[in-house]
Structure 1
Amino acid sequence: MVTSILQRNNVNVLGSGSQTLIFAHGFGTDQTAWRNQVAAFRDSYRIILFDHVGAGKSDFAAYSPHRYSSLYSYAEDLLDLCAELKLKDSVLIGHSVSGMVSLLAALVEPQYFRKLVFISASPRYLNDVNYIGGFEQADLDALYAAMAANYYAWASGFAPLAMGNPDKPELAIEYANTLSAIRPDIAQAVVRVIFQSDHREELPRLKTPVDILQSNNDIAVPLEVGQYMVKKIANSTLTNISTTGHLPHISAPETVTRAIASCLAQI
């Protein structure tokens, strides 16, 4: 039996309005990470929520490390979803890895997307010549080893680093819980795909407008990354939002919601 796209990615359609917003989550979370933004926008917009395969309530039987060995496969899933729902001129708000997933999708089928909004996105996480990505390969190798040694201990330690906001420890606990809900083998494979990816060459090819929202003290995405992307993507803007950590839509939801609303107001 072939699982439908809507079942595979646990797609939910909410709200109403002439403009469609697609919310795409990052690693270690699922569509519930957007609950505050959904509450803010559902009265005025049609909202599409989904879980990447391997996350949340997606169909785990659809996951294979071979199929999902690059971000292109996640982009294909996103395009399948858009085709199934007959979307056009949507605004996609993508957190972390979903920024590049949406970029790859928009390069293939630009008619689906009116605008992309990146939150804590990065085209490459590794430092390179004349490029600050934030990590050396040795850093990532140590991270992979820690995940392999004891995934749940790693999740408990990584969550507060990624979330930031030590004055709100409950947020790190929430993130640790969603990290721990992922099958360890899937988490380890997906993290390698994300952290070893390099999509810098695709940035100049993008014609879809992009608003880049960047947080401060983000363990995964240094401020230089946003500055790099805005130089490489022709039709783009960069906004440093007054938030800290890699998951600002969770840790400072009102600030992020206002920033998204500002992006939507420019359409």
Structure 2
Amino acid sequence: MWGMDVRSRHHVTVEGPVGAPVMVLAHGFGCDQNMWRLVVPRLAEQFQVVLFDHVGAGRSDSSAWSEERYRTLDGYADDVIEILRDLDAGPVVFVGHSVSASVGVLAAVREPELFAKLILLNPSPCFVDDGDYRGGFSAEDIEELLESLESNYLGWSAAMAPVIMGNPERPELGEELTNSFCRMDPAIARVFARATFLSDNRSDLAGVTVPTLVVQCSQDVIAPPEVGAFVQAQIAGSVLETLPATGHCPQLSAPQATAEAIVEFAAA
């Protein structure tokens, strides 16, 4: 069903019943497919769940990584299209977290026939404030963040991961994200971070033609609520759901609510 090269390159794994509708989960920056483990059991009750690691993350084949391919999000969108073609399962429900929401948008605009539905979890098409648009960061903020990451990736990870996770009363969550960041090759992380934090995919949103759900948290320093509202307004017919959760990784901090929101839209 899957070409061995694509499967091994992205460490593709599958959970759930054969013959069920297919749902593909795509992780964000500094993470891997393990980030989804708390929601997979619920999703796999109704879907065949396909997980993968972006090249350079998790147990992917890092020898497939090149700066030329992955210095923009287009390289990651190309990978998603290759995975879905190789899957050969018809249109799938695609769930993209954080930067993978933008990756999913790029892929769905390019080849909409591969997508039955699109679920964007804590998306941010542009992290930088621009006029009336509030991305959550100034250009100076982002440049400082990237300079800090590039000069001391492990230190940056330890400082930023708990902020991104946003649940200080549950330090184990921030610790897990820190450890996930620290497993990534710093050279790859630097390039992926620039692709993530400097991309502006706002103009791509209007090209989405598949049914789309935008899921955000009530508090998220990385993707503020205004960003989710913007994304929903730009994608015709899309639906916005705000979870009673804080932080940027609700699949870890609020897995039950996150899984139910995904299933309710995907199964409708």
Q: What's the TM-score, normalizing by structure 2?
A: 0.96
Is 2:134 the counterpart of 1:138? no
Deviations 1:126-169 (A, max 9, x none): 11022111111111111112112221111011011000111100
How far apart, CA to CA, are the structure 1 residues paired with 2:237 and 2:11? 32
Provide TM-score, normalisation by structure 1.
0.96
Q: Matched residues in 2 for 1:69 and 1:159: separation?
A: 22
Alpha-carbon distance in 2 for matches of 1:163, 1:72: 26
Aligned to 1:159: 161
Query: Is the partner of 2:119 in helix, strand or coil?
Result: strand
In structure 1, the residue matched to 2:111 is: 109
Question: Structure 1 residue 107: deviation in Å?
Answer: 1.2
The residue that corresponds to 1:53 in the other structure is 55
SS at match of 2:248: coil
Give 1:87 deviation, angstroms.
Answer: 2.5
**Distance apart, 1:222 and its partner CA:** 1.0
Q: Map 1:1-267 to 2 at 5 A.
A: 4-16=5-17, 17-266=19-268
Per-residue CA deviations over 1:195-240 (Å, capped at 9, x if unaligned) read 1101111111110111000012212111111111111100201111
Read off the aligned partner of 1:210 and give its amino acid letter: T
Q: Give the partner amino acid of 1:154.
A: W
Task: Report the number of matched residues.
Answer: 265
Looking at structure 2, the residues matched to 263 and 132 of structure 1 have their Cα atoms a distance apart, in angstroms, of 27
Per-residue deviation at 1:69? 1.4
- Paired amino acid for 1:27: F
**By how many angstroms is 1:243 displaced?**
0.5
Deviation, structure 1 residue 262: 1.7
Letter in 2 for 1:229: V
SS at 2:69 equivalent: coil
Q: 1:129 and 1:88 mapped to 2: Cα distance? A: 41
Per the alignment, in what secondary structure is the counterpart of residue 67 of structure 1? helix
Tell me, in whole angstroms, the C-alpha distance in 1 between the residues paired with 2:160 and 2:125: 21
Q: Distance in 2 between matches of 1:150 and 1:71?
A: 24
What is the alpha-carbon root mean square deviation over aligned residues? 1.3
Percent of pairs identical after alignment? 39
